[in-house]
Amino acid sequence: MNGTTITAPTIEYALLSPMLIVFGAAIIGVLVEAFAPRYLRKSIQMPLTLLALLGAFVTTVLAASNGLPTTAAAMGAVAVDGPSLFIWGIILILAFISALLINDDEQFVAQAAAVPGSVDEEEAVRSGFAQTEVYPLLLFAVGGMLLFPASNDLLVMFVALEVMSLPLYLLCGLARRRRLLSQEASVKYFLLGAFSSAFFLYGMALLYGYAGSVDLKAISAALGSVSGQDTLLFVGVAMLAVGLLFKIGAAPFQAWKPDVYQGAPTAVTALMASTVLVAAFGALLRVFWVALGNLDWDWRPLMWGVAILTMIVGAVLAITQTDIKRMLAYSSIAHAGFLLTGVIATGTAEQNSSALSAILFYLAAYGFTTVGAFAVVTMVRDAGGEAGHLSRWAGLGKRAPVLAGIFAFFLLAFAGIPLTSGFFGKYAVFTAAVGGGALPLVVVGVVSSAIAAFFYVRVIVLMFFNEPAADGPTIAAPSVGTSAVVALAAAATVVLGVFPQPVLTLADQAASALFIR
Amino acid sequence: MESPAEIIPHSGGVIGVSWLMIALPLIGAAVLLLGGRRTDRWGHLLGVAMSLASFVVAVASFMELLGLDPEQRRRAYELYQFIPGVADMGILIDPLSISFALLITGVGSLIHIYSIGYMSHDPDRRRFFAYLNLFVAAMLLLVLSDNYVGLFIGWEGVGLASYLLIGFWQFKPSAAVAAKKAFIVNRVGDFGLLIAIFTVWTTFGSVAFGEVFGKAGEASQNTLTAIGLLLLLGACGKSAQLPLQSWLLDAMEGPTPVSALIHAATMVTAGVYLVVRSGAFFEAAPTAQLVVTIVGVATLLAGAIIGCAKDDIKKGLAGSTMSQIGYMMLGAGLGPVGYTFAIAHLITHGFFKANMFLGAGSVMHGMNDEVDMRKYGGLFPVMRITAITFIIGYLAIIGFPLLSGYFTKDGIIETAIEHNAILGWLAVVGAGITGFYMSRMVFMTFFGKRRWADDAHPHESPAVMTVPLIILSIGSIFLGGFLVLDNRFMQFLAPAVGRPEELPVFHFVSPAGLATLALVAVGAVFAWFRYGAAEVPRVAPRGSFLTTFARRDLYGDALNEALFMRPGQWLTRIAVFFDNRGIDGLVNGLAAAIGGTSGRLRRVQTGYVRSYALSILFGAAVVVGALLYVGNM
Amino acid sequence: MTTHYLVLSALLFAIGAIGVLTRRNAIVVFMCVELMLNACNLAFVTFARQHGNLDGQLIAFFVMVVAAAEVVIGLAIIVMIFRTRRSASVDDASLLKY
Amino acid sequence: MPWLSTLMAVPVVGAVGVSLVKSDKLAKQLALAVSLVVLALTGVMAARFDPALGASKETRFQFAEVYDWIPRFGVHYGVGVDGIALVLIALSAILVPIVILASWHDADGTGAAAPPKRSVKTYFALLLVLEAMMIGVFAATDVFLFYVFFEAMLIPMYFMIGSYGGAQRSYAAVKFLLYSLFGGLLMLVAVIALYVIAEKNTFMFPELIGVIQDPTTQKWLFLGFFIAFAVKAPLWPFHTWLPDAAAQAPAGAAVLLVGVLDKVGTYGMLRFCLELFPDAAKFFTPLVIVLSVIGIVYGAIVAIGQTDMKRLIAYTSISHFGFIALGVFAMTTDAGAGATLYMVNHGFSTGALFLIAGFLIYRRGSSQIADYGGVQKVAPLLAGTFLIAGLSGLSLPGLSTFVSEFMVLLGTYERYVVPAVIATTGVILAAVYILWMYQRTMNGPTAEAVKGLPDLNIRERWVVGPLIAVIIALGFFPKPALDIINPAVDHTLSNVHIDNVHVNPAVAEKKGAGQ
Question: What is the per-residue pLDDT across D338-357, written as a single tens digit (0 to 9) for each?
Answer: 999 999 999 999 999 999 99
The mean predicted confidence, pLDDT, of chain A is 89
Q: Which chains lie within 8 Å of chain C at 3 or more CB pairs, if any?
A: A, B
Choose among C20, C43, C84: nearest Cβ to A116: C84
Give the nearest chain D residue to B170 (CA atoms): D443
Tens of pLDDT, residues C13-52: 999 999 999 998 999 999 999 999 999 999 999 999 988 8
Residues 6+ apart with CB under 8 A from B550: B305, B306, B308, B309, B310
Summarised one tens digit per residue, pLDDT across range A457-506 is 989 988 888 888 777 777 777 788 888 999 999 999 999 999 999 999 99
- The CA distance from B506 to B485, in Å, is 7
Would you say residue C97 lies in a domain? no
User: What sections of A12-72 are H helices per DSSP?
Assistant: 13-35, 38-65
**Measured between CA atoms, how close is A192 to chain B, in angstroms?**
6
Are the Cβ atoms of C98 and B614 closer than 8 angstroms? no
Q: Taking the domains of chain D in order of start, what are their residue ranges?
A: 3-496
Query: Which subunits sit against B, judged by 3+ Cβ pairs under 8 A?
Result: A, C, D
How many independent structural domains does chain B possess? 2
Q: How many residues does chain C have?
A: 98
Amino acid at B612: Y
What residues does A353 pair with on adjacent strands? none
Give me the number of domains chain C comprises: 1
Q: How far apart are the first and last CA of chain D?
A: 48
pLDDT tens profile B280-302: 899 888 899 999 999 999 998 88
- The single-letter DSSP state of residue B582 is I
Chain C closest-CA separation from residue B609 CA (Å) = 7
Cα B429 from chain centroid?
24
End-to-end CA distance of chain A: 14
Model confidence at B1, pLDDT cuts 50, 70, 90, reads low
Residue B3 lies in a domain: no
For residue A411, the distance in angstroms to the closest alpha carbon of chain D comes to 12
Per-residue model confidence (pLDDT) at position A185: 93
In chain C, the residue whose alpha carbon lies closest to the alpha carbon of B610 is C21
Cβ–Cβ < 8 Å for A339, A363: yes
Q: Does B185 touch chain D (CB under 8 A)?
A: no
Partners of C7 on chain A (C-beta within 8 Å) are none
Physical contact, A and D (3 or more Cβ pairs within 8 A): yes
Residue B1 lies in a domain: no
For residue A461, CA distances in Å to A454, B308, D169 come to 10, 69, 10
Residues of B in contact with C22 (CB under 8 A): 610
Specify the range with the lowest mean pLDDT, choosing from A413-427, A448-462, B532-546. B532-546
Report the amino acid identity of residue B458.
P
Q: Which of B522, B541, B562 is the last residue of a domain?
A: B562
Of A3, A173, A201, the CB nearest to C77: A173
- Sign of the Cα torsion B580, B586, B588, B589 reads positive
Closest CA to D328 of D282, D294, D297: D282
D154 to chain A, minimum CA–CA distance in Å?
9
Q: In chain C, helix, strand, coil percent, each to 5?
A: 80, 0, 20
CA distance linking residue D365 with residue D371, whole number of Å: 9
Amino acid in position B503: L
Q: Quick one: B134 and B256 in the same domain?
A: yes
Q: What is the DSSP string of D34-52?
A: HHHHHHHHHHHHHHH--GG
Are B and D touching by the rule of 3+ CB pairs within 8 Å?
A: yes
Residues B610, B518, single domain; the answer is no
Q: B with D: how many residue pairs have Cβ under 8 Å apart?
A: 147
Which of A:385-404 have CB within 8 Å of D?
A: 397, 401
**Cβ within 8 Å, pair B608-C98:** no
In chain C, the residue whose alpha carbon lies closest to the alpha carbon of A235 is: C10
Angle between helices A439-460 and A401-415 (to 10 degrees): 170
The per-residue pLDDT for range D366-423, each reduced to its tens digit, is: 888 888 888 888 888 999 999 999 999 998 998 999 999 999 999 999 899 999 999 9
Q: Roughly what angle, to the nearest 10 degrees, separates helices B125-144 and B43-67?
A: 20
Set of chain C residues whose Cβ sits within 8 Å of the Cβ of A201: 36-37, 40, 63
Domain interval for residue C78:
3-85
In DSSP terms, which residues pair with B88 in a beta bridge? B81
Q: Alpha-carbon distance D415 to D506, whole Å?
A: 12
- Tell me: cis bond preceding D234? Omega within 30 of 0 counts: yes
Contact criterion met (CB below 8 Å) for D202 and A505? no
B617 interfacial to chain C (CB closer than 8 Å): yes
- Name the pLDDT band for A276 (thresholds 50, 70, 90): very high
CA dihedral for B199, B202, B204, B206, sign (positive or negative): positive
Residue D512: the pLDDT is: 40
Pair B558, B581 in one domain: no
For chain D, percent of residues with pLDDT exceeding 70: 97
> Which chain C residues have a beta carbon less than 8 Å from that of B617?
17, 21
Q: Is D13 on the interface with A (CB under 8 A)?
A: no
Smallest CA–CA separation between D118 and chain A, in Å? 9
Mean of the per-residue pLDDT values of chain D: 90
Mean pLDDT, residues A126-152 taken together: 88
Return d(Cα D94, Cα D46) in angstroms, integer: 12
Q: Does B123 touch chain D (CB under 8 A)?
A: no
pLDDT in tens, B432-442: 888 888 888 88
> What is chain A's percent helix, strand, coil content, to nearest 5?
75, 5, 20
Question: Which residues neighbour D488 within 8 Å (Cβ) at sequence distance 6 or greater?
Answer: D51, D54, D60, D82, D83, D84, D85, D340
> What's the DSSP call for residue D140?
B
Q: Is residue C64 part of a domain?
A: yes
What is the pLDDT at residue A117? 72
More confident residue, A71 or D358: D358
By the 8 A CB rule, do A266 and A373 touch? no
Cα–Cα distance, C13 to C6 (Å, whole number): 10
pLDDT tier at A446 (50, 70, 90 boundaries)? very high
C-alpha torsion angle, residues A485, A486, A491, A492 (rounded to 10): 60
| Inter-helix orientation angle D3-20/D83-102, to 10° | 20
Chain B positions touching D506 (Cβ under 8 A) are: 202-203
- Asked if D511 lies within 8 A of B184 by C-beta distance, the reply is no
Query: Which of A231, A241, A313 has the CB atom closest to B628's CB atom?
Result: A231
Mark yes or no for CB contact D406/B223 under 8 Å. Answer: no
Q: Going by beta carbons, is chain D in contact with chain C, meaning 3 or more pairs sit under 8 Å apart?
A: no
When CB atoms are compared, the residue of B177, B191, B215 closest to D424 is B191
Answer whether B248's CB lies under 8 Å from B181's CB: no
Give, in order, the Cα–Cα distances in Å from A285 to each of A245, A516, C28: 11, 12, 35
Nearest beta carbon to residue A208 from set C44, C85, C94: C44
Tell me how many residue pairs between chain B and chain C have CB atoms under 8 A apart: 29
Task: Indicate the residue of A188, A252, A451 with minimum beta-carbon distance to B615.
Answer: A252
CA distance linking residue A339 with residue A346, whole number of Å: 13
Kindly identify which residue of chain A lies nearest to residue D175, measuring between CA atoms.
A454
Instruction: Check residue D455 and report its DSSP letter.
Output: -
Question: Residue B548 has what pLDDT?
Answer: 78
CB contact under 8 A, D439 and B220: no
Report which secondary-structure segment, H or E, holds D413.
Answer: helix D400-415
Closest by Cβ to B597, choosing from A188, A256, A316: A316
Poorest-pLDDT segment among A280-284, B498-502, D276-280? B498-502
DSSP string, A474-495: EE----HHHHHHHHHHHHHHHH
pTM, two decimals, is 0.92
Cβ within 8 Å of residue D508, ≥6 positions away? B218, B219, B220
Q: Could you give phi then psi for residue A8, rounded to 5 degrees?
A: -60, 125
How many whole angstroms separate alpha carbon D311 and alpha carbon D286?
29
Whether chain A has a CB inside 8 Å of the CB on B606: the answer is: no
Interface partners of chain D (CB pairs < 8 Å, 3 or more) are A, B
Q: How far apart are the C-alpha atoms of B279 and B289, rounded to whole Å?
A: 9
Q: Contact C10/A236 with Cβ under 8 angstroms?
A: no
Q: In terms of residue numbers, what domain contains B602? A: 572-631
Which chain A residues are within 8 Å of B630, Cβ to Cβ? 298-299, 301-302
pLDDT at residue D511, as a whole number: 39
Whether residue B90 sits in one domain with residue B50:
yes
Mean pLDDT of B479-508: 81
Using 50, 70 and 90 to split pLDDT, how confident is the model at D114? low
Q: Cβ contacts of residue B145 below 8 Å, gap of 6+?
A: B89, B90, B91, B92, B151, B153, B154
Do the beta carbons of residue A340 and residue A310 sit within 8 Å? yes
pLDDT tens-place string over residues B168-202: 988 888 888 889 889 999 999 999 999 999 999 99
Q: Are B412 and B483 in contact (CB under 8 A)?
A: no
Beta bridge partners of B499: B2
pLDDT digits over B338-382, tens only?
A: 888 898 899 999 888 888 888 888 888 888 887 888 888 788 888
pLDDT (tens digit per residue) in D131-177: 999 999 999 999 999 999 999 999 999 999 988 888 888 889 999 99
Torsion angle of C-alpha atoms D183, D189, D191, D195, degrees rounded to 10 = 180
The confidence band for D506, taking pLDDT boundaries of 50, 70 and 90, is: low
Using one digit for the tens of pLDDT, what is the confidence trace for B543-572? 777 777 777 777 777 887 888 888 888 988
DSSP string, A83-144: HHHHHHHHHHHHHHHHHHHH--GGGB-S-TTSPTTSHHHHHHHHTT---TTHHHHHHHHHHH
Q: What CA–CA distance (Å, rounded) separates A206 from D165?
A: 63
Q: Give the ipTM.
A: 0.90
Chain D CA closest to residue A440: D189
Of the candidates D242, D19, D49, D263, the residue with the CA atom closest to the CA atom of residue D138: D263
For helices D169-198 and A421-435, give the axis angle rounded to 10 degrees: 40
| Contact indicator for B317, B363 with CB cutoff of 8 Å | no
User: CB D509 to CB B220 under 8 A?
Assistant: yes
Judgement on whether residues B28 and B148 belong to the same structural domain of the protein: yes
**Residues of chain A contacting residue D148, judged by C-beta atoms under 8 Å apart:** 418-419
Interface test with A, best of D196, D201, D202 (most A CBs within 10 A): D196
- Partner residue opposite A181 with nearest CB, options C30, C37, C96: C96
End-to-end CA distance of chain C: 49
Q: Note whether A180 contacts C: Cβ–Cβ < 8 A.
A: yes
pLDDT value, residue C1? 64
Sorting pLDDT into bands at 50, 70 and 90, what band is A2? low
Which residue, D4, D175, D21, is CA-closest to D89?
D4
A vs D, Cβ pairs < 8 A, gives 84
Of B602, B603, B607, the CB nearest to C95: B607
User: Do residue A234 and residue B601 have CB atoms under 8 angstroms apart?
Assistant: no
User: Residue A33 CB: number of other CB atoms within 10 A?
Assistant: 17
CA distance, residue A163 to nearest chain C CA (Å) = 9
Closest residue by Cα to residue B322 from B109, B553, B102: B553
